Chain A
Amino acid sequence: MEHNKTATIGNKGKGVRSDCQVFLEILDSGGINIELVSKVNALYGKSIRRGIEEILVFFDIKNAKVVIEDSGALPFVMAARMEAAVKTLKKTDKEFLLPFFKQNNYQTEQDKNRISRLYLPGNTPSLMINAGIHHPDGIILDLEDAVAPDKKFEASFLVRNALRNLDFYGTERMVRINQVPRGLEDLDFIVPHNVNLILIPKCESAEQIHLVNSRIAEIKAKQKNTGNIWLMPIIESALGVLKAYEIAMAAENVVALAIGLEDYTADLGIRRTAEATESFFARSMVVNACKAAGKQAIDSVFSDVADMEGLKQNVLRSKALGFDGMGCIHPRQIRVLHDNFAPDDAEIAKAKKIVNAFIEAKEKGLGVVSLGTKMIDAPVVKRAQKTIDLAISTGKISKNWREEDNEKI
């Protein structure tokens, strides 16, 4: 054991909320000395002290000075900060885990809707706490670009604890790991804690997918974890674009490809514009690779959070190209995505006619579906059914639309 070293973890200061900064010094003697400055001291001072003592006992630390400056950190946040501080000073394989929130114990379907995924910086607790109430299709805890290099270590504990103890309100639980190979280490913090989907940034080969999958398999074998973990590689370079189909086909559990245009345009040495004509080829490649491989195609985020009309136009262009969803960086963007990726009234009306014709043909025992004088192929029916499903899930029509339409007649 190393002695007489200090660690400072977490955040404090003006504008920091729902977080804390932990200073830890492991000493040779003198017992445990905890100094707590907290805005919730009157309500939670005793339980905070108890929690800190419990963690020190768990890691077998008997002499230490702990200074906590707390701006209302929830217990899972404070535990993550404390554990990161301990592990900065002391090597141990033990993990201090609070009981897993049972409402987070769900799986997601391979082909579920992924219209909106909300990115959250992996080291900023205040943005995590209410993310689920805005009901995006997925929440991404980001360990990559949204976390400063010197904060990556502490962020991995926070993300792990968030997966266990932050209520995701049924949204798909996603994590963006760091670029492979570094990102492989991140998997230890997320795979055992029911992550539903992993985003693999700057993906350029099928090999990277295989590396991720084999590491996942190793961890799962140890944990006896049988849940599905889906992958969403992100294409962010010229090479990645050219390899898009290979990456999409790399494994069964790759459910979608996303495109990241900031890095892509940087790779090409060009400027990213609102019209996005410069990335037309790349986006089309990703869409075509996905459609050929039977996967979902997900567009890049729109970064001007104040420009809702610009976002809407961007979504409409994206939908017209064949994308199935997009990333968000602000909760207010979610509704715009759902409203505009959703089928419009004309699309819904047409899809209803086709699905009705199909059901009627089946009821009559007819092998061929026709609408008026036109015969309808199976893929057309399938696409119409998908349109209807999307219209239902985005709230455009009711689940019982057939009965309701009949009542109106």
Chain B
Amino acid sequence: MKKYDKLVVNAAGRLVPTIINGKPAVPFMGVGKYRPSGVKHASSIPTCLDYPDDGNKTLASLTEALKKCGLKDGMTISTHHHLRDGDLVSNAIFDIAHEMGVKDLVWFPSASFPCNEPLIKYLEDGTINRIEGSMNGPLGKFTSKGGMKGCAVLRSHGGRVQAIQDGEVHIDIAVIAAPVADPFGNANALSGKSACGILGYSLADYMYADKVIVVTDNLIPFPCMPMQVQGNYVDYVVVVDQIGIPEKIVSGTTEVTKSPDRLLLAEWTAQFCDEAGLLRDGCSLQSGAGGTSLAVGVYMEQILKSRGEKARFAFGGSTKYMVQMLENGTLDYILDAQAFDLEAVRSARENPNHIDLSVFQAYNFHSKGNYTSMTDIMILGATEVDVNFNGNVVTHSDGLLLHGIGGWQNCLHAKTVIIPIPLFRDRIPVVVDEVTTICGPGDMIDVIVTERGIAINPKRTDLIEKMKNSSLPIKTIQQLKAEADAICGVPEKIDFDDEIVAVIKWVDGTVIDSVRKVK
């Protein structure tokens, strides 16, 4: 089977394959242009007759569970990154598969982390054919150098649910690592030594997979409530000593940046939102867990508080700073798919206004509406943006694939998307002529905040009008690009190999760009 075939130029002007890993693929047609029809995919039909009446689905080992699920060549195995860099379960699955001599598996994780580096040996020996998900750090580098047998497919969190629902990805076995579970398979993440707060990425997987295994290191008698995972979808429950390394699952504490340059970015971002009238009583927002994003949140909180106003809801990943807003009354609700620190886990457990939420509700394309498009202010990062406001989050300027998309593409649907980023990082320009990889079309990115000026997308005439008397340094994106070039020098063009090693899916399942092998 060829990794990919039949290249065409898509609506973003990028050359992409229309056959990927032997399956047909639709090239990106423009935002909101692709409208699939038909019916949703479904899993094979179970009957309760095949499950124990006493509700006890426990098995002695993960090996036994995988065997009972019929693990064989070419299957698709899904896992999740709820345990982040402390995850011990994903690697264990493929250790077992390797021992069983199974080949050509497709790993379908919601995200990978540096802890998954040991899987490179299974990509090399053919146990795993390819990854469809995210490739972070070492796995990204391995993929960029052309090491993967199949063509990698990168999807957003919402795009992952989309691919499950339209049947492009059929999950044979979903393995869910759960910090607490009962023998029936009900599970959550609120307690136990591996508590990570929320299991927001697993819903579509367990609903649509043929077989579902819950792995826990903390089995309690039925019922395990609240059920973030519903046992009615679960085939087997396996108890192990340890599903993760606690200090790598959640950080003890997340901290705002101490860098004066990043703090300036954050301050300007909050001031921009305020002056543009976006930050107001009843607004909604999302801001990530990076040091700069956290600082944006802190400045926004100060502004809201000074006027006695509050935000209606904020999307997680949650941190102690968001929890602080919730607890001091500057925020009504946290809607949360993952908790980043111990304070966030505590809040998710104790506070009824800290709501666990699946990406199924927030991000999914095949959904009757989405939460993200209702959000007023969206603060995101990027590795690069270009003069047409296109954004890149997966590759660096040297072409190496180093990050996953996460929820980034989905979040672009918010009302105002603001990206605070430095103009350059150690001589590497961040504002460039053309992004190395398009992950988000320029139509959807509204404001770029850099330490040397703020550029507003010309399409947002409303924001331009509101900010025309601002004391903030409003510039054009071309001016910012020229400043970056004047300081860093005009970068040389990267000399890529022709071979495609990965494709980037847009939220609707179409192919927006290809990633080429780095020489």
- Taking Cβ atoms with an 8 Å cutoff, the residues of A that contact B are 17-18, 39-47, 71-75, 129-130, 133-134, 167, 330-332
**B234-272 interface mask toward A, CB cutoff 8 Å, 1 = contact, 0 = none?**
000000000000000000000000001101100000000
User: In the complex the two chains form, is B427's CB within 8 Å of A18's CB?
Assistant: yes
Q: Is B397 an interface residue (CB 8 A)?
A: yes
How distant is the Cα of A44 from the Cα of B493 in the complex, in angstroms? Answer: 9
Interface string of B31-60 (1 = CB under 8 A from A): 000000000000000000000000000000
Pairs A–B under 8 Å by Cβ, sample size 11: A18-B427, A39-B426, A42-B399, A42-B494, A43-B398, A72-B428, A73-B427, A130-B260, A134-B264, A330-B260, A332-B263
Q: Do residues B426 and A43 form an inter-chain contact, with CB atoms below 8 A?
A: no
Alpha-carbon gap, A167 to B397, bound state (A)? 24
Q: Measured between alpha carbons, how far is A261 from B492 in the docked complex, in Å?
A: 49
Chain B interface extent, by class: 20 to 34
Contact A332 B487 (CB under 8 A): no
Q: Do B264 and A47 touch across chains, with their CB atoms under 8 A apart?
A: no
Contact A43 B397 (CB under 8 A): yes
Are B261 and A133 within 8 A (Cβ)? yes
B312 at the interface (CB under 8 A from A): no
Are A74 and B264 CB-contacts (below 8 A) given A42-B398, A47-B492, A133-B452?
A: no
Q: Are A74 and B492 in contact (CB under 8 A)?
A: no
Q: Is the CB of A17 within 8 A of B426?
A: yes
Which residues of chain B are within 8 angstroms of A72 by Cβ–Cβ distance?
425-428
On whether A133 and B427 interact (CB within 8 A), knowing A47-B492, A330-B260, A332-B263, the answer reads no
- By a CB distance below 8 angstroms, the chain A residues around B290 are none
- Check B492 against A44 for contact (C-beta < 8 Å): yes
Contacts beyond the supplied A44-B488, A130-B451: 15 A-B pairs with Cβ under 8 Å? A39-B428, A40-B427, A40-B428, A42-B398, A42-B399, A42-B492, A43-B427, A43-B494, A44-B489, A46-B492, A74-B427, A74-B487, A133-B452, A134-B264, A331-B261
Of all chain B residues, which has the CB nearest A43?
B491
B428 near A43 (CB under 8 angstroms)? Answer: yes
Chain B: which residue is nearest A135 at the CB level?
Answer: B264
Q: Tell me the bound Cα distance from A129 to B261 in angstroms.
A: 10
Contacts of A332 in B (CB 8 A): 260, 263
Known: A130-B261, A134-B260. Contact between A44 and B427, CB under 8 A? Answer: yes
Secondary structure of the B contact surface, majority rule: loop
Give the most central of B260, B425, B427, B429: most A CB within 10 Å.
B427
CB contacts (< 8 Å) of A330 on chain B: these are 260
Q: Which residues of B contact A134 (CB under 8 A)?
A: 260, 264
In the complex, what residues of B have CB within 8 A of residue A43's CB?
A: 397-398, 427-429, 491-492, 494
**Which chain A residues border B264 with CB–CB below 8 Å?**
133-134, 331
User: Contacts A46-B492, A332-B260: A167 and B487 contacting too (C-beta < 8 A)?
Assistant: yes
Least CB separation from B519: chain A residue: A42
CA distance A113 to B160 in the complex (A): 58
CA distance A228 to B492 in the complex (A): 41
Distance in angstroms between the alpha carbons of A44 and B264 in the assembled complex: 28
Contact present for A44 and B491 (CB under 8 Å): yes
- Decide if B451 touches A133 in the complex (CB within 8 Å): yes
B426 and A18 form a contact (CB under 8 A): yes
**Closest B residue, CB atoms, query A45:** B492
Shortest beta-carbon distance from A255 to chain B in Å: 27
Q: What is the minimal beta-carbon distance from A76 to any residue of chain B, in angstroms?
A: 10
Q: Looking across the interface, which residue of chain B has its beta carbon closest to that of A71?
A: B426
- Alpha-carbon distance A118/B487, docked complex (angstroms): 21
Closest Cβ neighbor of B261 among chain A residues: A130
B183 to chain A, nearest CB (A): 50
Q: Which of A133, A134, A330 has the most CB of B within 10 A?
A: A133
A47 in contact with B427 (CB, 8 Å):
no
Residues of chain A lying within 8 A (CB to CB) of residue B492: 42-47
Residues of B within 8 A of A331 (CB): 260-261, 264
From residue 490 to 516 of chain B, which have CB atoms closer than 8 A to chain A? 491-492, 494
The closest CB in chain A to the CB of B453 belongs to A133
CA distance A71 to B429 in the complex (A): 14
Q: Nearest chain A CB to B432's CB is how many angstroms away?
A: 10
A47–B489 touching, CB < 8 Å: yes
Shortest beta-carbon distance from A180 to chain B in Å:
33
Chain A residues lying within 8 Å of B488, measured Cβ to Cβ, are: 44, 74
Residue of B nearest to A42 (CB): B398
A42 and B397 contact, Cβ closer than 8 Å, known pairs A130-B451, A134-B260: yes
Closest to A73 in B: B427
Bound together, the chains give a CA A71 to CA B261 distance in angstroms of 19
A74 to B428, CA, bound (A): 10
Q: How far is the CB of B429 from chain A (nearest CB, A)?
A: 8
Most chain A CB within a 10 A radius of its CB, from B260, B398, B428: B260
CB distance from A169 to the nearest CB of B (A): 9
Closest Cβ of chain A to B510, distance in Å, is 29
A-B interface, 6 closest residue pairs, ranked by CB to CB distance from nearest: A72-B426, A331-B260, A42-B398, A72-B427, A43-B491, A130-B261
Assembly CA distance A331 to B265 (angstroms): 13
Q: Which residue of the partner chain A has the closest CB to B490?
A: A47
Residues of the A chain whose Cβ atoms lie less than 8 Å from the Cβ of B491? 43-44
In whole angstroms, what is the CA distance A18 to B428 when docked? 10
B452 engages A40 (CB within 8 Å):
no
Complex: A73 Cα to B398 Cα, angstroms = 17
CA distance A44 to B427 in the complex (A): 9
Q: Which of B353-397 contact A (CB under 8 A)?
A: 397
Q: Are B489 and A75 in contact (CB under 8 A)?
A: yes
Give the CA-CA distance A74 to B425 in the complex, in Å: 11
**A46: nearest residue on chain B (CB-CB)?**
B492
